[in-house]
Amino acid sequence: TVSVLYWSTHARGGSLVVGAMHDQRKGTREELSAEQQTALERKIAEFKTLYAECYARRDAGSTSRDCLEPQQRLLTQNPECFSMWSHRRRVYLALWEEERIALAAAAAEAAEDEKEKSDNGAAFAATGGLPPQRFADLMAELMFNTAIIKRDYKCYAAWTHRRWILDHLSPKLRLKVLSEENGKLEELLRADERNFHAWGYRRWVVTQLEALGAYTAERDLAFAEAKIMQNFSNYSAWHNRAVVTDRLVRSLAHATAEERPARVDAVKAALDKDVDMIVRAFYCDPNDQSAWMYVPALLAHLAALGAAAEEHQSLRAEVVGKLLDAAYELAEDDMAEADAAVKWPLWLIVTLAADGHVDLAERPLRLRSSDEASELVGSLRDGWKLLGRVDPLRKGFFFERARLAKA
């Protein structure tokens, strides 16, 4: 059986406990005593010696197993040292090639010995079809990598190395470990819902499971939907949903006549759900940018669906109408409270007008300022100017758009 240490080490009552990763103040640095300063300098000197040793081995082209232990000590102290992760992979590949050659030679010598052949077969079965040393190395490396990620969830090099480990498992082991990884990642994202490193790695895990027939895009969409409904500000969940939907839309071009109806229905269902979530997010928190920024992706997917399925060509116009109705209502209601509150509804209206989805001359935006005075936005130029006023940090961009726009 495969025994792998995952993130559950710091568990409380069976669930993962992770410190908050966002909106946290950095602690102030305390003055060190003379004794502490001496200890720190000694530690730095030891690290420099270790660093020099590891890089000397790498520069000499060594792929000996002796490289692994000092590398592990170095990476434990500095997991962002991507060059050492790369050298570590080269060492393992060289060692496994040596093992493969040795096993092939032993198999040739034992070809006539039925008992030895049977023993070798049993050994390979116990390791999921992998050579014994390679199996032991991968399991140890997975445990080491887990310890690194537990300490630093934001280490790019460690997440990349983890993919490499799973890529070198046998198909039988890979399916088992990938399934366990997905479960633990969902647990991690319950504790730290916007950890984009975990989201990115999970996206890779899920695509591998889909390729093995063990997961579906629909399940992935449902997971992202659940995270969005828990928190409309979860940008990573919105992004994940956009990526999965984009993959579904692109699959229409390669679908057979038999597959096409089901795939079109799946895309249509995903986009209908997107519209529902976006409009709900608009009204729940108009000042949160995540749902507003998702609109361009939604419109691109609707255009692709209309191009692939004639019966849905009118859907994009219908959705734009719903989004505009919500944006107009929010802009006209919020302007009376504060100019800043109108930013995102106004941004969507002006952006859609610039793309030709609405004519502000035919459907002007009527706003009331805090002193109850009325303001009419009846052209693109008016819209860009107002955006410059309500978003002064970007006024240069908006005023330039106003200058270039037709009156």
CB 190 within 8 A of CB 11: no
pTM of the model: 0.83
Helix, strand, or coil (residue 376):
strand
CB 277 within 8 A of CB 320: no
Strand (E) or helix (H) holding 15: strand 15-16
Which residues have C-beta within 8 Å of that of residue 346, sequence separation ≥ 6? 327, 331, 365, 377, 383, 386, 387, 390
97-105 — which CB contacts under 8 Å span 24+ positions?
A: 99/131, 99/133, 99/134, 100/131, 103/131
Spell out the per-residue pLDDT of the chain, length 407, in tens: 443 434 443 333 333 334 445 555 556 677 889 899 999 999 999 999 999 999 999 999 999 999 999 999 999 999 999 999 999 999 999 999 999 999 998 888 877 666 555 555 566 677 888 999 999 999 999 999 999 999 988 899 999 999 999 999 998 899 999 999 999 999 989 888 989 999 999 999 999 999 999 999 999 999 999 999 999 999 999 999 999 999 999 999 899 999 999 999 999 999 999 999 999 999 999 989 999 999 999 999 999 998 888 888 889 999 999 999 999 999 887 655 556 678 999 999 999 999 999 999 999 998 876 555 567 889 999 999 999 998 999 999 999 999 998 75
- Helices 156-167 + 132-151 axis angle, to 10: 160
Strand (E) or helix (H) holding 12: strand 11-12
Q: How far apart are CA 20 and CA 22, in angstroms?
A: 6
Strand (E) or helix (H) holding 377: strand 374-377
CB 336 within 8 A of CB 370: yes
Q: Give residue for tokens 């962002």.
A: 80
Q: Give residue for tokens 């000092």.
A: 70
